[in-house]
Amino acid sequence: MTELKSTAITREDLLFAVRTLTRSRDAVGFAHLVKRTHPSDLVEALESASIEDTVALLLLLAAPQRAELFAHFPPARQDELLRAMPREAVVQLFEHMPSDDRADLFNRLGEEARQKLLPALAKVERDDILKLASYPEGTVGSVTTSDYVYVAPEMTVAEALAHVRATAPDKETIYVIYVLDQHFRLRGTVSLRDLLLADDKATVAEVMRRDPVFARATWPRLKAAELIRRYGLLALPVVNGGDKMIGIVTVDDAMEIEKREDASQLARFGGTAALTSAGSVDLDILNTPFKRMFGVRVFWLVVLTFFGILTSTFVAEQEELLSQVIVLAAFIAPIVDMGGNTGSQSATLVIRAMALGEVKLKWRDLWRVIRRELPVAAALGVVIALLEAVLAYFSKGVGPDVLLVVGLAMLTCTALGGIIGALLPFAARRIGTDPATLSSPLITSVMDLVGVFIYFGIAYVVMGDTLRQAAGA
Amino acid sequence: MTELKSTAITREDLLFAVRTLTRSRDAVGFAHLVKRTHPSDLVEALESASIEDTVALLLLLAAPQRAELFAHFPPARQDELLRAMPREAVVQLFEHMPSDDRADLFNRLGEEARQKLLPALAKVERDDILKLASYPEGTVGSVTTSDYVYVAPEMTVAEALAHVRATAPDKETIYVIYVLDQHFRLRGTVSLRDLLLADDKATVAEVMRRDPVFARATWPRLKAAELIRRYGLLALPVVNGGDKMIGIVTVDDAMEIEKREDASQLARFGGTAALTSAGSVDLDILNTPFKRMFGVRVFWLVVLTFFGILTSTFVAEQEELLSQVIVLAAFIAPIVDMGGNTGSQSATLVIRAMALGEVKLKWRDLWRVIRRELPVAAALGVVIALLEAVLAYFSKGVGPDVLLVVGLAMLTCTALGGIIGALLPFAARRIGTDPATLSSPLITSVMDLVGVFIYFGIAYVVMGDTLRQAAGA
């Protein structure tokens, strides 16, 4: 092997192989390809295949391999495939899929399909699905898998290892083993590493780590992901209301949860936060139905419109000043916008620091942030004000009084925007909402309103005499 | 135990214990606390302690425990502690810290400190540090740890397991074992699960998984994190230019890398993207020095100022129309802002979809996005235009021609903003830059410019006659 490839075969080879096998319906060939290729790559290669072809290929596999591959398709694709599969194969999927994935699939079935499916399953599977599927989307329970290894505290290390070996094939992970008493309450955890390095005759209770980090099934799933990341866990135990362990959340799911949440946070910051109660589902540009997409976005645009009305009403009231000094109108936008620009910068920097745990909701941290932002915002204000004044002079040849108004207003708006922007995430967290809900458009609109007050306020102070003179003449 | 606590002891208890031990300098007590508490919690409890007190506590511990706890402090804190520690203790840190953390620490030392440190270390450690520390910040190499387990392909499963047991205490993870030939080239990987379930007499070569996913040390570290997430890996092998394996990136580091990148992306979208070459370090509100913080932010504000100048120059040129219909000035801001608002919404929705892999840089996906955004943007435009016209009538009593201009301009800006916003992330990816670099303030400023052209264009078309009449009179 002279060159290392990053996957079993190249993407082009994989696409070619998939197309060939689709035509030939070669069961042995496909099973071999599945063995050599990571499910994520296979699913990607099958993106452009038709539903019928994909189902035909899936049916070439044995039920366990089929279920493993099926679980890697995106949810929307899974639903399409399911509708085209024979009933027998659907039941087999529910028998062999990982417990968290099949609970999700179950929740996406219509009521009728669910009623038809349940009687065909063994009681153990039916109970498992119903239990995991009962947790609402967005909770820890909805991402929990019941395929974990557990032992009793009084077992010896040797017995525990034997149990791990025996039950391993069906488990999501065997590297963290959970120690439960006879009531299924979590007494501790022990890693496979600890078991392997311990004395065979020691008991599990002597080796285990007590008081493990855990999550409750009703907590938001993001909390589970944060715990996993904070403590560097491979898996996190999940308990129900009665403190009985029901399953685990694994680190790979935690990575997906955080990725999804961070991507959605960016979209919320763009002005698409959905303010519905309990388990709000974030907007998805390809999948969210028109009605909801329109509804959430128009809500914010209406809010922003009202802010805009306030701003424009105020500006219109300054007709007298504007008719005297028409050119003042030309600077409204650049000056009030700059407040939103610096505010957007500082707000996102603070949100970033909060996400990384560097800044918390404490007065001490708020003070640290302001102490750092103040000089920067002031310096930015001075530089941008000078720049704007210079450009205004050379491009429009405005008089010194207008230059002064423009410069002072720009300085104030820029610096104030930075300070206000830095404070907004604290305010949002204080009222218990994600800082990104105070979106960039909202920050900009608020700073627009603040900005016009500042602008015209300064204009009246500086040019008030001019105005009175002109009115008197 | 009637109630499960989520950590060994509560946060208040931990703070109290830490303060007590700081005063009493009780070595046994502190070692016991360290054993019972997760390092992340201990580090958090020590946040408010002074450097001197923290160093005193650390020196109570044996060198290996001290190094493990030290590695969990944030980098800035590590640097402060290091300066206050006796030389002997510093050398011990470098002997016992995980290899990736100590390489990072080494890179933060000044040149003089490095030259003083290296001779005090054993050759093996010196070579390891120098090798890992040679990779620039932001690369896979910079987050690689050399504490991994490797075996030869011809070993038996029993021999491999014995080797794992023997070397386990020093390894970051023993759950993925790497199969290297005598030239340290990666032949395959085998999980501890596979080893435990395999026949003792089989060879590693028979059990291992060939063609493993890997990363090169020079790749961006984000690529390693993406591979780990995509393939659900516990660890990813890293090879150097000569295809020799140099270490691994573990899943907990991958989670941190992605978290940091996503948090930074939000800040870039707020207008703080640093356009320096190779390995640009993102702005950090608490840690970035004034000069750089000011420099990056003022760059964007200057760019935005120039956009603003273009816009305001154009508006000023319309003095004739504005002097005739002063009230038109009042609507400039709300109308042009709306383009930026819808644009911000659609741009972030597309960036989110790209981050989740739902949308790729393909014409097909661009078409899918536009097909979904078009009706939404049009509907938003109609609703907001009607709202603005109604509000304009009732708040200012403007005439029908102004209402028409305002309504049409609002409709066009709103809808066009949504479409342009949806296209921008594709444009950014096409030229090879992160879409978030096209920040919200930039989108807004571009839409401002587009918006004033639309606004006054429509105004001239609708009110052109009025203007000519007034000029003629």
Query: Distance between CA A216 and CA A223 in Å, rounded?
Result: 10
Q: What is the phi/psi pair of residue B216, to 5°?
A: -95, 145
Average of per-residue pLDDT across A337-366: 93
Contact B356 A263 (CB under 8 A): yes
Find the closest chain B residue to A303 by CA distance.
Answer: B384
Least Cα distance to B69 among A191, B50, B59, A356 occurs for: B59
Q: Would you say residue B1 has pLDDT above 60? A: no
Residue A336: pLDDT band with limits 50, 70, 90: confident
Contacts of B315 in chain A (CB under 8 A): 329-330, 333
Residue B7 has a pLDDT of: 46
Q: Per-residue confidence at B71, pLDDT binned at 50, 70, 90?
A: very high
- The answer to whether the Cβ–Cβ distance between B338 and A308 falls below 8 Å is yes
Nearest residue, CB atoms, B255 vs list A255, A330, A352: A255
Question: How sure is the predictor about B465, in pLDDT bands with cuts at 50, 70 and 90?
Answer: confident
Going by C-alpha positions, the residue among A445, A386, A449, A377 that lies closest to residue A414 is A377
- A381: chain B residues, CB-CB within 8 Å: none
Give the tens place of pLDDT for each residue, B331-370.
887 888 899 999 999 999 999 999 998 899 999 999 999 9
Residue B75: count of CB within 10 angstroms of its CB: 11
Query: pLDDT tier at A201 (50, 70, 90 boundaries)?
Result: very high
Judging contacts by C-beta atoms under 8 Å, the chain A residues touching residue B262 are: 258-259, 262-263, 265-266, 355
Tell me the chain A residues in contact with residue B327 when contact means C-beta distances shorter than 8 Å.
316, 319
The nearest CA of chain A is from the CA of B463 a distance in Å of 19
| Closest residue to B297, CB basis, from A38, A268, A345 | A345
Query: What is the rounded average pLDDT of the residues B296-301?
Result: 93
Instruction: Tell me the count of A-B CB pairs closer than 8 A.
Output: 414
- CATH fold match for the domains A11-134 and A290-472: no
Closest C-alpha to B382, from B422, B424, B418 = B418
Contact B346, B373 (CB under 8 A): yes
Burial of B302 (0-12, 13-18, 19+ CB in 10 A): middle
CATH number of A11-134: 1.25.60.10
| Residue-wise pLDDT tens digits, A88-136 | 999 999 999 999 999 999 998 988 888 888 888 988 889 999 889 999 8
pLDDT of A5 over the 60 cut: no
Domain ranges of chain A: 11-134, 150-250, 290-472
Alpha-carbon gap, residue A384 to A380, rounded angstroms: 6
| B233-261 pLDDT tens trace | 999 999 999 899 999 999 999 999 999 99
pLDDT at A471 over 70: no
A279-308 pLDDT per residue, tens: 567 898 988 899 999 999 999 999 998 888
For a pLDDT cut of 90, what percent of chain B falls above it?
Answer: 62
The partner residue sitting opposite A213, judged by closest CB among B7, B259, B346, is B7
Q: Across residues A187-199, what is the average pLDDT?
A: 94
Give the C-alpha separation, B351 to B269, whole Å: 10
- Give this prediction's pTM: 0.88
CATH 3.10.580.10 assigned to A150-250: yes
Asked whether residue B2 carries a pLDDT value surpassing 50, the answer given is no
**Residue whose C-alpha is closest to residue A131's, from A220, A244, A226, A255:** A244
pLDDT at B5: 38
For residue A38, pLDDT beyond 50? yes
What is residue A357's predicted lDDT score, i.e. its pLDDT? 87
Question: A21-59 burial, b for 16+ CB within 10 Å, e for fewer?
Answer: bbeeeeeeebeebbebbbbbbbbbbbeebeeebbbbbbe
Give mean pLDDT, residues A200-208.
Answer: 94
For the record, the structure tokens of B151 come out as: 């075996």
A238 near A214, Cβ under 8 Å?
A: yes
pLDDT of residue B275: 75
**Which superfamily, per CATH, for B290-472?**
SLC41 divalent cation transporters, integral membrane domain (1.10.357.20)
CB contact under 8 A, B334 and A285: no
Model ipTM value: 0.87
pLDDT at B123 over 80: yes
Instruction: Give the model's pLDDT for residue B186.
Output: 95
Task: Among B270, B312, B347, select the one facing A334 at the smallest CB separation.
Answer: B312
